[in-house]
A and B are shown apart, each in its own frame.
Chain A
Amino acid sequence: MATVTAPSGGAPGQPGGPGEAGGTGDTETSRRPRRTGGLREGRAAWVLALPFCVLFLFFTAWPVVQSLFMSFTDTRSRDLRTPFDVNVIGLDNYAKALSDPVFRKAALNTAYFVLIGMPLTLVVALAAAIALDKGITRFRSVFRLGFYMPVITSIVAVAVVWRFLLQDEFGLINTVLGWVGIDGPNWLGDPDWSMPGLILMAAWRNFGTAMIIFLAGLQGVPAQLHEAAAIDGAGAWQRFRHVTLPLLRPTLLFVSVTTAIGYLQFFEEPFVMTSGGPLNSTISLSMYTYKQFGFGNYGLASSMSYLIFVVIAIVTAIQFRLLRERS
């Protein structure tokens, strides 16, 4: 195994190692002579970036600040015409959101979705990527297209089809389960099965994105490492475990972070498939927040958005801690 762990530590053959080591010295020396022209270049850069900066300030930064302020006020839709007439109520909205049983239920549902849905999506994506990378070489592009197709299909179209697939009596999934003697559940009508139903659909729809990135990562794994490991007597699983997986770590971090962020904002699936039901079993944090905006409770909804933001920040931080490349 020693042959394998060494490269990531910075073996002489790796371009990353020496490049990085000399990096700081390089830039220091090369920057100095350029400094006279730097001012003009800097100004040009600012002029070019100005339109974006202005747009960013007005349409991104300002609304973010405004909604943060709003989350501490009792703004309702009727206050839209008199925006300076709202009351600052401190953390009341946050307290109200956290004590709302439906919000709590939404948080549990979202956690359920991320904890089951994300690993499922990643495992399926990785399996598909490995199959495409190694096994199925002949029709690779056909399969790649096929696996990626759900990602680019409209969620509404997908929802219509999946509602039929998950239908309890004549749906294809329960029909197939019936062939092997399993009496399929009433997927979207039963509060215990509605989340698994949505997770199945979400995994099917989303694994393509992760798969494409995994595929790129896999193709970056040098073949000679596998050969070397094979010569040392490593089997397929050992090579995967000790060669592929460590080299895939940055890819895995990227994919799991983006997937987790996407899944924490779980919205479209329940919105088009179940509208949160039955018995609030599929209502998600984003969807409940959206509903509060719809009811005109802008202050409360803003505080919910910020709660989601905090959760996403925490989850992302945890993932970075767990998966960051050890250097």
Chain B
Amino acid sequence: MTVATLTATALTLTACGRGGDAESASGGQTGAAVSSGKATGTITVWAMGAEGEKLPTLAKEFESANPGVKVKVTAIPWDAAHNKFTAAIAANKTPDVAMVGSTWMGEFAGLDALDPTPPAIDRSAFFEGAQKTTEVNGTSYGIPWYVETRVLFYRSDLAKKAGFDSAPTDQAGLKEMAKAMQTKAGAKWGIGLQAGGTGSWQTLMPFAWSDGADLTKDDGKAYNFDSPQIVDAAKYYQSFFTDGISDKAAPATPTTEPDFASGKVPMFISGPWMMSAVEKVGGAGFKDKYNVAPIPAGSAGSSSFVGGSNLAVFKNTQNRDASWKFVQWLADPDVQATWYGLSTDLPSVKSAWDAPDLKGDEKLAVFGKQLETAKAPPSFPTWEQVVTSFDTELEKVTKQGADPSTSMATVQQNAESIGTGQ
């Protein structure tokens, strides 16, 4: 494995070491510089889901700002995307630029398919947690394009009934308020926490990160699931289910929106898309009946999960300069604000949050603030595989009352046998 990594690194250096830039402290590297001037030629871009459908509108603006460039956007369904990418990489038929899911970065960089980010792109412009998702072994491949993070949604009207004027600020407060929602405000369940299953780690980890947890150890070279912070977070998480505050037999079809609107489950943790979803179900005036708040703080402050998608340039592009110019243009604060208007995807560039659309919205500002401390999982190629056992063990913790420290030890053991894949 070491030999493979070394060979990959050597190849990367010979292919892209033209700029001769200084390496970063962690042993990573910087891509070659990109020529100045207008972009020319044709570039192909792959993007998934709604982004793939809406990107052509934005690409037109890039084309008019750079006469002589042609951007060809291919929309790819999310379901088929991962296979299409791995097949394209194996066949050396990759696009020039692509939207890449933030958890795929490690895998694609491990396949030696991505071009390191050139120095002209200012990494400090992005939210730190999001920027971290582009980095594999200390080298940044691409930029964060848009971000999302998870915060606490709560019914402010019912909270008042339960005797709370503001959102809980610490973990004990969250539990107290959730309980009061049941006893005083007539809620069936205090808070809707995902009882295991796909992606439930994203609800658990904010509590652990707020306590200072780190998913890696040994200088970021190994998984670290059984750390005391994660075990404690799992114990805390479990207590909601054992105390009857959260529903351990959550339905297979999530009914978060109607349950929130009816007051049956007046609190949950989720991402920005839930705002329009609950307002749609809640009807007119519901906007004023709920609020969002940062994840209740632990011993290390308030932290949450950062998700979203990155933009990367593939190594065997025939038009490297134009590709990076397009990526750089998409990271421009004004373009990011325009993109928010088109897609409601939250900007990954911090200064884009000064745009009136974003600044004027109080609830959105909570997401903006949370993003400053939000964290992402490690960019190991095997992350997706390892995390399924995390989800399964968490399900045992919530539904079957399994011992959190045993469960987390199992996840760690599993992760060690799978390896980081680097």
Using a CB–CB cutoff of 8 Å, the interface residues on chain A facing chain B are 76-78, 80-81, 102, 163-164, 166-169, 186-191, 194, 273-275, 277-280, 291, 294-297
Contact = CB atoms under 8 A, between A and B. Distances in A.
Contacts of A188: 251-253
Contacts of A291: 388
Given A78-B421, A278-B197, 14 more contacts: A78-B111, A78-B381, A80-B111, A163-B253, A164-B253, A168-B249, A168-B251, A186-B251, A278-B399, A279-B392, A279-B396, A279-B399, A280-B392, A296-B86
B382 interface: yes
Contacts of A78: 4, 110-111, 381, 421
B395 A81 contact: no
Centre residue among A78, A102, A189 by max chain B CB count within 10 A: A78
A279 B400 contact: yes
Contact of B252 (A81, A273, A296, A297): A273
Contacts of A296: 86, 107, 381
Given A291-B388, A295-B384, A277 B198 contact: yes
B90 interface: yes
A80 B253 contact: no
Contacts of B65: none
A189 B250 contact: yes
B250 A277 contact: no
B249 A186 contact: yes
B343 interface: no
Determine the interface band of chain B, counting residues with CB < 8 A from chain A. Answer: 20 to 34
A277 B86 CA distance: 27
A77 B86 contact: yes
A271 B111 CA distance: 28
Nearest to B253: A163
A277 B395 contact: yes
Given A186-B249, A273-B252, A279-B196, A294 B399 contact: no
A80 B85 CA distance: 12
Centre residue among A77, A191, A194, A280 by max chain B CB count within 10 A: A77
A279 B395 contact: yes
Nearest to B250: A189
Interface string B376-388: 0000011011001
Nearest to A96: B417
Contacts of B110: 78
B251 A77 contact: no
B92 to A, nearest CB: 8
Contacts of A274: 252
Given A77-B86, A80-B89, A296-B107, A277 B251 contact: no
Q: Which 9 A-B pairs have the closest CB atoms?
A: A188-B252, A80-B90, A295-B385, A277-B197, A163-B253, A189-B249, A186-B249, A189-B251, A189-B252
B196 A275 contact: no
Contacts of B111: 77-78, 80-81
Contacts of A76: 421
28 contacts: A77-B86, A78-B4, A80-B90, A80-B111, A81-B89, A81-B90, A81-B92, A167-B251, A169-B251, A186-B249, A186-B251, A187-B252, A188-B251, A188-B252, A189-B249, A189-B252, A277-B198, A277-B252, A278-B399, A279-B395, A279-B396, A291-B388, A294-B82, A294-B384, A295-B382, A295-B385, A296-B86, A297-B385
Contacts of B395: 277-279
A279 B398 CA distance: 11
Contacts of B421: 76, 78
A280 B395 CA distance: 10
B407 to A, nearest CB: 12
A78 B111 CA distance: 5
Contacts of B382: 295
B253 A167 contact: yes
B229 to A, nearest CB: 25
Nearest to B200: A277
A76 B45 CA distance: 27
Contacts of B196: 277-279
Contacts of A167: 251, 253
Contacts of B253: 163-164, 167, 188
Contacts of A275: 197-198
A201 to B, nearest CB: 12
Contacts of B107: 77, 296
A5 B83 CA distance: 57
A273 B251 CA distance: 12
A276 to B, nearest CB: 8
Contacts of B86: 77, 80, 296
A192 to B, nearest CB: 11
Contacts of B249: 168, 186, 189-190
B105 to A, nearest CB: 14
B193 to A, nearest CB: 14
Centre residue among B86, B253, B384 by max chain A CB count within 10 A: B253
A195 to B, nearest CB: 13
Interface in B71-101: 82, 86, 89-90, 92
A273 B384 CA distance: 21
A168 B254 CA distance: 12
A296 to B, nearest CB: 7
Contacts of B381: 78, 296
Nearest to A187: B252
A275 B392 CA distance: 12
Nearest to B86: A77
Interface in B368-422: 381-382, 384-385, 388, 392, 395-396, 399-400, 421
A278 B4 CA distance: 39
Contacts of A279: 196, 392, 395-396, 399-400
